Structure 1
């Protein structure tokens, strides 16, 4: 009898898993039907393989490279890592280049190819150049970061336009991006510790060439019309750039735009990063828990699973809540998760009998879920702030503002680590750095009035401004099909 019951339960579980898999396939099919299938393919490559897989490798392998190969102090490493945000700060420039400066009649394909080649070459130089000094290594890392940023601009433009044209899929697109990046990060984190242990930090950097290589392939296969040249094409390009800059300025001056943009910037800038201090402490055999290379990768992999959980929670339960209400509670939970971090650094978990290996799982899970619940609505909000006609460049501007906030977060964390004298071997004040970081997270709650009360599917820009930009938008020059399609191409 018990065997029959267990067999029935197993069949039920299998049936449920099949139904869920079919739902996921139907969901992807729905997005591919309403939008261009090549756009969906681009999301899988850029977000899944690029930001997810390569981003996770960047986080683990690069930390070990600077720590064990270049022998840097955590505060210095924190400053160097902030330089990797420079290509992301330049995203408006990449947006203007891809929108206004076609190469041989193509707006998108050449920039995918260029970004892929830059990233591939930079990764191989890092991996196979022995005795590479700090400055050339920084240049190569910035090259890998630039490769990801340039490819990301085109996909972000597609997401912004699709979110405006088909508003009902705006949250679905952000869910797809979040799932792709989280699943890619999960795979990358699981493999990163293994590769660092068996190949070493430097040789493991060759894996960073995988994403740029696929980006290069994407540049050859993605569907795009070739525009015909005109004798006054240069003049038209200059005029187009001028109109774009003026439209960006007019849009950012609306209170409906600059207020939430300011909130997103400050929420990132005030969230000072002490990650490098934590990483050195994680691996220290005297002051810290002395986690192995493989287990560090497992910790981050658990964080990737938690990020997936955060995306699913947002998609299933929170995507219909107003922006202000959702962001307030998400920021509150994110600040509370920092308290768990403080408990771990002070080793209070050992006092109450919780082992380090178990407690770090609790800490990483809480931080990643709440961080994703905080990030998803901010991305949806960014897409709703973009006017048609300049959505690609304007979304790149908003992401540039966010990148500046992230850069200040890294630099602020580096200053904090240096002021508190946290080094490769001295972690006595690490708890104080975590405490300051937690207080700043709570302080961000006072800025929630800058976020609109509107729902996540409502338009935020004045209708008059949307009509003006739409009338100026030359649809014949839009090279990548981003609007709903019917039938085959």
Structure 2
């Protein structure tokens, strides 16, 4: 019988402060959702921030505006939009361009280390603002170098390194800001969709302004000027931090020590952070070294697989499942952005049949339409979709996004021209709809992780999640680059490269089809509940590793109840005690009495796996089942031996009829090897498998069935092993 070790309990009074949120929900429910006026009220730019300020305070909103609206939205949009043109000026091939862009995004994979450092090593008692400031100085300096140093003096690899540090600032600020508002959202889950929508709204507005500018700047002055324009936006956060807008309270030495003590108990999370950081540095070095596209793809897949296994083994199941889903979903979306960029922007001399989009149209016009569509998507989400279940919103958005991606294949095959549809009209429509749907994919993931963040580890857990997206995207970008290479789609902005685009439509179809594959995993990996529900309600231990496979394997305890009838019993008990002195307990005596007394004396012991092999009488077996039920955890398995005996079979049926157990299967081994039978035991060994129903003993346990699914008789199914 195994016991899952209980972790330290965490309580916080703020978690119970949900009255205001409930009232807000009631008010929303009373609104006429079909009316235009109620929609306007829901997104009113004056009411929205005022309501959020009442719940979360003005400082948090100012921090979000500075770090996410300005830095991530505006400055990030400028530098990201100019990166393609910067690499094109170096005549980088499409597949290599995608690899360089993955290197630019690898700082997101270092975010767990930043998160751990901010939680473990506060500077002068502050966890977040000093690290925000250091990352900002690094990013501002690197951005200025790209803008000021001539291209002849700055190699493409040097530009990639500077871009690496710029994205380090963007991701570090985004991470630490998300960790800050995650702390606040956990006590007000009903307001979580509204706060996330506020942040996303501002990021989208900032990105919209940047996309309007980037095309104009690139066409008139070149990509380097864009980086100079981004410098002030990146530097604004330093002013806000100096004004104390991070809203941090200085911690005492004792508080810092207590926090480090809690983190020290999460060695598994640190191990995952090390794996991710090491894999990211390896990916960066391989990408910058000029290695083959296949090598980059292989390293990315191996890194993602390693992270998946580590998270599955070391993190609590509900958190590990969410992270696994995000990695798989993004990994199953091969990117072809490198080739599509050249497809749309090549000149007539480079690709005579192409759309020949100017930087103004491609970046500013198309980008602005996409950002406006994202704003509409955010408003639609906030008004009508924020109360949907996670599965519903993710399924709808994923299917729509995959369908819209198929439209790219039509323009790559030039089908739209055959029907007289201009490239501009077709691309503006399809990209606008894609961006609108994309917002519906992003926000539920932020909400679900905010709900799952353990207290005191918000930065680390948010970093792990954001990293999971990036690891999957890295796989998608590298496998997409390999796909482009296999299909012969590898343009570089050279003249007469029309042949490079012949199979680009095939790559688009493959990418769209693969995006639908992971949806079936949602049934196992994403909880079936509303986005406004408290996922951690009733769970006392909110650590990131509680209930993980590793803790179950390495810290499970075994309790043995035995009458001591045979000589080998005590010998085996002594051997087990010698091997596992702190994890094995032997209780001798009739189990009908000893198990009952133990359950009364040790209510803290809850077991996941229980084996019943007692005196085989009907009364004794039924008593064992009744007593062991009091020791069962919420998610338990019970296995009863010799179910083919009339006595034990009757006891099992009685327990089913009384609602003590739910049967899964009963079976008999018709071909035992070796045949260890003795005394008058039946020739064939048999067992019944099920689980104890403990919902009435522990209200936090789920009730698996509303009606009893047990059969009126217990049948033992013959099998041959």
Tell me the TM-score normalized by structure 1.
0.87
Check whether the contact 2:120–2:259 (CA below 8 A) recurs between aligned residues: yes
Query: Which of the residues 274, 296, 300 maps onto 2:367?
Result: 300
Matched, 1:334 2:415: no
| CA–CA distance in structure 2, aligned partners of residues 308 and 123 of structure 1 | 28
Check whether the contact 1:91–1:149 (CA below 8 A) recurs between aligned residues: yes
Matched, 1:83 2:103: yes
1:51 corresponding residue in structure 2: 72
1:236 CA drift (Å):
5.9
**Structure 2 counterparts to residues 163-312 of structure 1, below 5 A:** 163-221=185-243, 222=245, 223-229=247-253, 239-245=261-267, 253-284=315-346, 285=348, 286-297=352-363, 298-312=365-379
1:410 CA drift (Å):
1.6
**Structure 2 counterparts to residues 401-420 of structure 1, below 5 A:** 401-420=468-487
Greater strand percent: which structure? 2
1:459 CA drift (Å):
2.4
Question: Compared with structure 1, are the counterparts of its residues 21 and 459 closer, same or farther at alpha carbon in structure 2 (3 Å cutoff)?
Answer: closer
| CA–CA distance in structure 2, aligned partners of residues 253 and 260 of structure 1 | 11
1:377 corresponding residue in structure 2: 444
2:137 corresponding residue in structure 1: 117
The secondary structure found in structure 2 opposite 1:341 is helix
Query: Which of the residues 513, 527, 532 maps onto 1:457?
Result: 532
1:308 CA drift (Å):
0.7
The secondary structure found in structure 1 opposite 2:265 is helix
Q: Deviations over 1:448-481 (max 9, x none)?
A: 2122111111222363344679xxxxxxxxxxxx
Root-mean-square deviation (CA, aligned residues, Å) is: 2.5
| CA–CA distance in structure 2, aligned partners of residues 214 and 150 of structure 1 | 15
Matched, 1:32 2:57: no
The secondary structure found in structure 2 opposite 1:49 is helix
| CA–CA distance in structure 2, aligned partners of residues 252 and 160 of structure 1 | 22
1:195 CA drift (Å):
0.8
Q: Deviations over 1:283-322 (max 9, x none)?
A: 1222320001110121011111111111111101111111
Matched, 1:96 2:163: no
Deviates more, 1:54-63 or 1:140-149: 54-63
2:92 corresponding residue in structure 1: 72
Check whether the contact 1:388–1:466 (CA below 8 A) recurs between aligned residues: no
The secondary structure found in structure 1 opposite 2:468 is helix
Q: Which structure has the greater CA radius of gyration?
A: 2
The secondary structure found in structure 2 opposite 1:24 is coil
Q: Deviations over 1:131-184 (max 9, x none)?
A: 211221111000001011111121110222222111111101111121011111
Question: Compared with structure 1, are the counterparts of its residues 456 and 22 closer, same or farther at alpha carbon in structure 2 (3 Å cutoff)?
Answer: closer
Question: Compared with structure 1, are the counterparts of its residues 20 and 460 closer, same or farther at alpha carbon in structure 2 (3 Å cutoff)?
Answer: closer
Question: Compared with structure 1, are the counterparts of its residues 392 and 466 closer, same or farther at alpha carbon in structure 2 (3 Å cutoff)?
Answer: farther
1:442 CA drift (Å):
2.1
By relative contact order (CA 8 Å, sep 6+), the higher-ranking structure is 1
Question: Compared with structure 1, are the counterparts of its residues 301 and 22 closer, same or farther at alpha carbon in structure 2 (3 Å cutoff)?
Answer: closer
Question: Compared with structure 1, are the counterparts of its residues 224 and 245 closer, same or farther at alpha carbon in structure 2 (3 Å cutoff)?
Answer: same
Question: Compared with structure 1, are the counterparts of its residues 287 and 189 closer, same or farther at alpha carbon in structure 2 (3 Å cutoff)?
Answer: same
Deviates more, 1:166-175 or 1:379-388: 379-388
| CA–CA distance in structure 1, aligned partners of residues 424 and 223 of structure 2 | 23
1:11 corresponding residue in structure 2: none
Tell me the TM-score normalized by structure 2.
0.60
The secondary structure found in structure 2 opposite 1:464 is coil
Check whether the contact 1:111–1:219 (CA below 8 A) recurs between aligned residues: no
Deviates more, 1:253-262 or 1:431-440: 253-262
Deviates more, 1:119-128 or 1:239-248: 239-248
Q: Count residues in correspondence.
A: 452
